[in-house]
Structures are given as C-alpha cells and as structure tokens.
Amino acid sequence: MEILAQIWSFLGLLTVLQNVLPSQILTLILSWYESLQDLISPYSYFEIPEFNGYCSVEPNELYRQIQLYLQSLGTCLNSRRVTATRAKNSRQISFMVAPNQSFDDTWNGRKFLWTHHVETVQESLEERRSFGLKISKRDREFGLNRYFERIAKIAEEFENSSRDRRLFTNNGHGGFESGWASVPFRHPATFETLAFDPKLKAEITSDLTAFSKARDFYSRVGRSWKRGYLLYGPPGTGKSSLIAAMANFLHYDVYDLELTKVSDNSELRALLIQTTNKSIIVIEDIDCSLDFSDRNLNFRRRKLPENRKHCQNGPENPGQVTLSGLLNFTDGLWSCCGEERIIVFTTNYKDAIDVALIRSGRMDMHIRLGPAGFDAFKTLACNYLGLRDHRLFEIIEREISEGGRLTPAEISEIMVRFKGDVDNALREVVTALKESVMEFVDEKTDSFQGVVGSPLKGFGMAGKGKKGGLTWQEKVRCLVRVKSLMRSSSSSSSKRGI
C-alpha cells in the first residue's frame, strides 16, 4: 500500500508541475528522465517505421524484411494474437502479429522482443505502423548486425518461395509502358516428375543451384549475372516441361518471348528492360521464329538479278528483328540491365541455328533431349500408372536396349489411353517399341543399300519377292549383317592405309 501511495503522490506532483512550470522546462526534465532511464536500464530499444521519415512516402526496406521474416515463421509465432490472411486466388495463408502485440524471438541464445505498433493518425483514416525491438545492451554489441543479416536472408528466401509466379508473353506493344501480359504460372512439372536420365537431372539441378547462389562470383569476375541454356531434340522429348521444372525449382517468373510479334531491335530491347530479376526468358523453336538473314544477306543478294534485289529485305530495313539485335539481346550491353536471369532457347534442329547464337557465353549449357530410356520409362510408369515394378519391365528394358525409340510424349499418351488397365498399357508400349525398331531398321537398310549392295544376299533372301515383306526378326538380322559388313569394310580400309 505504501508503494501505491508513493506512486499516486508522484503522479500528483507531476500534475502540479505540469500546470505551474513552463513547457520548455518540462521538456528538459523529461529528456533528463529518459536519459537517466536509458543509463540505468539494461535494454536498448529500436523503432523500425514503415516509411523512411515521418513525412516520407519512401518504403523502409528493413520494415518489409521484418514483416516477411515474421510471416515466414507462420504458426510458430510466439504471440498471444496472430492475424491470418489469404489473398484472392492464392493458396498461401499469411500469419502476422496482430496490431500492438508482442512476441519473443530467440537466436544463438540471445532473446529479441518484438512489438508491432499500429497507431491511428488523428483526424485521418491513415495508420502509422512500425516495429519495436527490445534487446539487451550486451547482445546489441555482439549479435545485432548478424541478426538483421539473418532476417534479410530469410525474408528473401520466403518471398521468393511464397510469391505467386507469373507467366508473361509479349503483346506486340513493347515500346509502351508495358509490353508484357501475364497470367498466374501454375505448371505442375518438377524434376521429380520429368522423364529423362537421372544423371542429367542431377547435373541440371546442380548447375541451377550454383547459379542462384553466384551473385558474388559474377560480380567478382565482372560478368552479368545470367546464364543461357539451349534445349534441343525431337518434338515430344520434354523441352517445355523442363523449362517449367526449372522455373518451379528456382521459383522464377517465365517470360515467353514471341519474336514474330516484335517489330524491330528497339522493341526487343524495350521488352528486355521490362523483365524482372529472378526470371527465365524463353524463345521456343528459335530456328522457326524468324529468318535471321542479315549475316548471309550480301551473299544471297549477289545471287539475285539486279531487277529483283529490291525484293530482298536487308539490315537497312529497320522494321525487323535482326540477328545482331538478338545477339545484343542475349549478350550485349543491354543484357546487363538486370540480374539473376536465365535465357533459354529451344529447337528441334540444333544445326539450323547460327553458331554465334549458341556459343559459350550466350548458351552456356547445351542439353540434348532424346527418346525415353528405361529410367525415363520407369518415371512415367510411376507417374501415370503408379507402378514401380512389373513383369513386363524386363521386356521393355530389352526392347529399349535393342533400339526401341519412343519419346516421353508418345509413352505418356499410351499410358493415358490405358490408365485404367496396367497390363494393356505396358503391352501397348512393348508393341510400339517393336514397331519403332522395325522403322529404324527400314531406315538403316535403305541408307546402306547403295553402299554395300543388297544386305539380304548373305541370308539367301535376295530376290525372293515376299509379298508381306520381312518380319521384324529378319530385319534385325539384316541390320546386324549390315553393321558387320560396315565394320569389315572399315577395317580393310584401315589396313590399306585409306
């Protein structure tokens, strides 16, 4: 009771002094009191406002990082009241400390007390938000800077993994404020579901991981923080799915650049400037997108009659994207206007692309995607049929090793068609593999027919004139005979010194 009486007496004294003493003296006394309190108190206090300065509209980056850090803790927030929100068309639930509530955070044995301050501005509907931090003076000296560095790192990782990624395409108006239109990117492809060689998967994921963590390396060696990938192979081998898996793996946005909608090199540069960091820029079927003829234009023009040279568009015509414009887009001065970007070209025919586009420094990693191997088939069987083993797997493995060539898209289509009947699905795959072997033999026997003569002479089949043609077993034997003849021919040539 005595303590309460003393407190009331002190409050009464303050009231009397406030009415008697001038405001300047009261302010001085208050500052002395706060200084004495700071000197005696074992804690330090920090305030992180939402905006830099009381009248500024510039957001405080540290406030945003702390907000993201608290959201990353989710339900682990040690607070009495937590606010849960979810944005429209989003699956992510965000948890945040409720206004004017506190929570404890512990790191490296040190305790940090946070308070989320929300004040309503008088005569206004606006709110003034800030975070208050209470920390021991001893911990301030030894761990505060590293603690804020940890918050920034976790906030960046959380923002990268939780934000809704977008799929962009150019709308033909690159010279205006925004030349891109976008939709949410929700492609389900991952490296676990991709059907190709496991070693190649590991190589790609390792390269992507190293790239995403190489900010300091690229800065030290003086290179733009970007990387190029060339994906090539027959249709249906999974080039587009691999791009989606790369985007999901890195949590990057995807910019699908349609070159036929780009009017000239200036618009191409404008589109590049409008892309964001942490993104994948994709040009699919680059060999079919445009005819980059400016490199061999003079040679072609010399072959044209004088009265037809005006029909040949050349570099002097500004209304087109040229090869030099695309080269500068991928590896010129304008390519360094952003960072942490990946550029991907896809093509069915690698040889159809100008070598300047795919040299090292532009396309750093060339990835060939071909017919499905046995590992790829097992991945597809697990994804589509829920199978990890089956009595027909051994037959399928043998057919693949003997030359059976089916793309992942072809195998996937068979499994979708027979998804309710596992045995029929696998038998259909075996049949399709046998047919692909026969087609392969037909191609080889036709190509070697004029080189070594009739491959059927050694089997006594030449001139039989079978109406139904050869069986697949006979064609395989023919192919083996052709290969042996080619080996014997090459060995005899080497002995003669040819």
Q: Which domains does the chain have, with CATH numbers?
A: 33-162 (no CATH), 166-304+319-368 (3.40.50.300), 376-461+468-491 (no CATH)
Q: What is the mean pLDDT of the segment spanning 194-211?
A: 94
pLDDT for 160 beyond 60: yes
Q: What is the percentage of the chain residues whose pLDDT exceeds 70?
A: 70
What is residue 35's predicted lDDT score, i.e. its pLDDT? Answer: 65
Indicate the length of the chain as a whole number.
498
Pairing of strands 82-85, 94-97: antiparallel
Given a cut of 50, is residue 315 above it in pLDDT?
no
Interatomic CA distance for residues 418 and 467, integer angstroms? 34
| Residues forming a β-bridge with 169 | 181, 256
pLDDT band, very low/low/confident/very high, at 36 (cuts 50, 70, 90): low
Share of the chain above pLDDT 90, in %: 29
Q: Label residue 298 by pLDDT band (50, 70, 90).
A: very low
Residue with tokens 């083996």: 480
Per-residue pLDDT, averaged over 429-449, amounts to: 74
Q: Which of 37-41, 68-72, 322-326, 405-409 has the highest mean pLDDT?
A: 405-409
Answer yes or no: is pLDDT of 468 > 60: no
pLDDT score at 311: 36
Cβ-based burial of 377 (10 A; exposed 0-12, middle 13-18, buried ≥19): buried
Per the model's pLDDT, the better-predicted residue between 50 and 206 turns out to be 206
pLDDT tier, 457 (very low <50, low <70, confident <90, very high otherwise): very low
Split at pLDDT 50, 70, 90, the class of 193 is: very high
Torsion of CA 275, 280, 286, 288, to 10 degrees: -80
417-424's contacts with Cβ under 8 Å and 24+ in sequence apart are 419/384, 419/385, 422/385, 422/387, 422/390, 423/392
User: Residues 399, 433: contact at Cβ < 8 Å?
Assistant: yes
Least confident of 1-10, 164-173, 244-253: 1-10
Q: What is the pLDDT of residue 374?
A: 94
User: 229 to each of 5, 195, 342, 350, 464, how far by Cα in Å?
Assistant: 78, 19, 8, 12, 52
| Mean per-residue pLDDT, 281-310 | 58
Please give the Cα distance from 178 to 198 (Å, whole number).
40
Q: Is the pLDDT of residue 423 over 80?
A: yes
Whole-number mean pLDDT of the chain? 78
DSSP 8-state class, residue 9: H
pLDDT level of residue 10 (50, 70, 90 thresholds)? low
The pLDDT value given to residue 94? 77
Bridge-based pairing of strands 341-347 and 226-232 is parallel
